Chain A
Amino acid sequence: MADHRRQWPITDDLATLRENVQRYAEQAGLTGPRLDDLVIAANEAAINVLEHGGGSGMLTISCDGGTLAVDVVDRVGVLRPGAVPSERPSGRGDRGFGLWLMGELCDSVTIDRIPGQSTIRLSMQVDGDADAGGPADGGSAFGRGARSV
């Protein structure tokens, strides 16, 4: 399958980043509440980079088979695997809250860390949603013109 990866730097222009993620995910077949969930989770991951991850990083989105993946990389590498709380943290302001929220919204959240770099991967299955879409939505929607969001 051709590599349809797209990549954007994480800056304080979160609105544009959300639009980019939404447009890509929509074209990959994610719709409705699950599309909202991924956009919210990707935004939370980007906030993490701005707030705790050194202020700059990169968001990469890709779709491999039926799995849509958003990788958010920071250049600090403090975030460690297993940092996603399973229970809602009591303080809504702390870092764990955003991580917990990502875990609630996405099919899976994994964290990889190498010295100086942490990656949060948000995954969503798109198969079911694509099948439930309209007649023109079967399979990959790549190659069609970008819809405005």
Chain B
Amino acid sequence: MTAAVVLTPVSAPVADHVLVVALDGALDYTNAEPLRRNVEALLGEHHRQLVLDLSGVSFCDSTGIRILLAVRKLLQERDGAVTLAAPNDRLAKIFRVTGLISAFTVAPSLAEAFDVVGARSNPR
């Protein structure tokens, strides 16, 4: 099995309703499933926006995409959204080919992701 993707909450200069999590590892068929649960465990009641820093993710396959969509649903259920930040070229390509890029906001860097969530409407 591929080593588990490591989730690290990032303290960042963003509003309280924004959760920033850095992912590290390769996301594939053998290890993608726990990611949804692990993200859910980190989400507090007050979080409406999730920023996933993907700069440490070397690989993502169709199963990983399925799980990212499940994470997106988690946030949509609380009227929020997910922003994917800093995917490498390989991830950006697969997001583009699969159309995932239109299901998420994808920012080239973490700083730009913060701009995106800052610009989004404030939490209720």
Interface residues of A (CB under 8 A from B): 12-15, 18, 33, 36-37, 39-40, 43-44, 47, 50-51, 88, 92-93, 97-98, 101, 104-105
Contact, CB under 8 Å: B29 / A40: no
Given A13-B2, A15-B3, A40-B94, the answer on whether A51 and B29 have CB atoms closer than 8 Å is: yes
What size tier do the contact residues of chain B reach?
20 to 34
Interface residues of B (CB under 8 A from A): 1-3, 26, 28-30, 59, 61-63, 65-66, 69, 89-90, 93-94, 97-99
Query: Given the complex, which residues of A lie within 8 Å of B94, measured CB to CB?
Result: 40, 101
Contact, CB under 8 Å: B29 / A92: no
Please measure, in the bound complex, the distance between the C-alpha atom of A88 and the C-alpha atom of B62, giving whole angstroms.
Answer: 13
Question: Can you report 13 residue pairs joining A to B where beta carbons are below 8 Å apart?
Answer: A12-B1, A12-B30, A15-B26, A15-B28, A33-B89, A43-B59, A47-B63, A50-B29, A88-B98, A88-B99, A92-B65, A101-B62, A104-B97
Please measure, in the bound complex, the distance between the C-alpha atom of A15 and the C-alpha atom of B64, giving whole angstroms.
Answer: 14
Please measure, in the bound complex, the distance between the C-alpha atom of A101 and the C-alpha atom of B60, giving whole angstroms.
Answer: 13
Contact, CB under 8 Å: B62 / A98: yes
Majority SS of interface residues in chain A? helix
Query: Given the complex, which residues of A lie within 8 Å of B63, measured CB to CB?
Result: 47
Contact, CB under 8 Å: B26 / A92: no
Contact, CB under 8 Å: A13 / B1: yes
Given A13-B1, A92-B65, the answer on whether A37 and B93 have CB atoms closer than 8 Å is: yes
How distant is B89 from chain A, measured CB to nearest CB, in Å?
7
The 6 A-B residue pairs with the shortest CB-CB distance, nearest first, are A36-B90, A15-B2, A47-B29, A12-B30, A12-B1, A14-B28
How distant is B69 from chain A, measured CB to nearest CB, in Å?
6
Nearest B residue to A40 by beta-carbon distance? B94
Nearest B residue to A98 by beta-carbon distance? B62
Please measure, in the bound complex, the distance between the C-alpha atom of A29 and the C-alpha atom of B62, giving whole angstroms.
Answer: 26
How distant is A76 from chain B, measured CB to nearest CB, in Å?
17
Given A36-B89, A36-B90, A88-B99, the answer on whether A18 and B1 have CB atoms closer than 8 Å is: no
How distant is A138 from chain B, measured CB to nearest CB, in Å?
25
Please measure, in the bound complex, the distance between the C-alpha atom of A12 and the C-alpha atom of B97, giving whole angstroms.
Answer: 25
Nearest A residue to B68 by beta-carbon distance? A92
Contact, CB under 8 Å: B28 / A40: no
Query: Given the complex, which residues of B lie within 8 Å of A12, measured CB to CB?
Result: 1, 29-30
Taking A15-B28, A43-B28 as known contacts, 13 extra A-B pairs with beta carbons closer than 8 A to each other, sorted by chain A number, are A13-B1, A13-B30, A15-B3, A15-B26, A36-B89, A36-B93, A37-B93, A43-B59, A44-B61, A47-B29, A47-B63, A88-B98, A92-B62
Query: Given the complex, which residues of A lie within 8 Å of B3, measured CB to CB?
Result: 15
